[in-house]
A and B are shown apart, each in its own frame.
Chain A
Amino acid sequence: DSGVTQTPKHLITATGQRVTLRCSPRSGDLSVYWYQQSLDQGLQFLIQYYNGEERAKGNILERFSAQQFPDLHSELNLSSLELGDSALYFCASSVEVAINTQYFGPGTRLTVL
């Protein structure tokens, strides 16, 4: 158990809908990262937050947004969903000192029908 929690575990929705994925980092970690992993593909970095502020953006679509709250939990919002958004979404957290060792949550499996 990495100490990172994600909810829900599974999400099934329809095209055009909007969903929110939630992540709680390990105790003491200030940084949260979101990744997308499609079938047989690598981890694609989406976005990072550090202590409530956006730190870096990766390959995140404009339909996607995220935020980190004062209690350090984070939410990833996905809107106008398309079939191609079906994937595993992982959250990771780190203390983010010089070496950025990230610890991953169990993921949310999103299925768009």
Chain B
Amino acid sequence: EDQVTQSPEALRLQEGESSSLNCSYTVSGLRGLFWYRQDPGKGPEFLFTLYSAGEEKEKERLKATLTKKESFLHITAPKPEDSATYLCAVQATGGYQKVTFGIGTKLQVIP
């Protein structure tokens, strides 16, 4: 069964203090890995899709990277508005296009 584990569960950063969130996954074959941002009480907002090991994508202060077993979401010089829960999800190859979500990392950036 596909599994996604995110760490840490919660992270508190000072404004400007860069860090990384981890997403470890187990799938029979990876078709795609997704990152979402979720604000409290809101729907997840799509950030990135990564397809193969070695791939990197950037958006403002966020950069997502992918290896064969994990993905990292690097946050450079975060601002308070980056505070949110970041969700990782994977889609396996073959058959039904099921997407499995992790429970997320709750990020708090303090001014």
- Kindly report which residue of chain B lies nearest to residue A91, judged by CB atoms: B43
| Chain B, range 24-77, C-beta contacts under 8 Å to A | 31-32, 34, 36, 41-46, 49, 51
**Chain A residues within an 8 Å CB radius of B49:** 99, 101
Q: Give chain A's interface residues, CB within 8 Å of chain B.
A: 2, 4, 41-43, 45, 55-56, 88, 90, 92, 96, 98-107, 109
**Residue B22 is within 8 A (CB to CB) of chain A in the complex:** no
Q: How many A-B residue pairs have CB under 8 A?
A: 55
Q: Is the CB of A107 within 8 A of B43?
A: yes
A-side interface mostly: loop
Cα of A32 to Cα of B103 in the assembled complex, Å: 21
Partner of A42, one of B41, B43, B101: B101
**Chain B residues within an 8 Å CB radius of A100:** 31-32, 91, 97, 99
Partner of B43, one of A41, A45, A56, A104: A104
CB distance from B88 to the nearest CB of A (A): 10
Partner of B101, one of A43, A96, A99, A101: A43
- Kindly report which residue of chain A lies nearest to residue B36, judged by CB atoms: A104
Beyond A41-B103, A56-B96, is A104–B31 a contact (Cβ under 8 Å)?
A: no
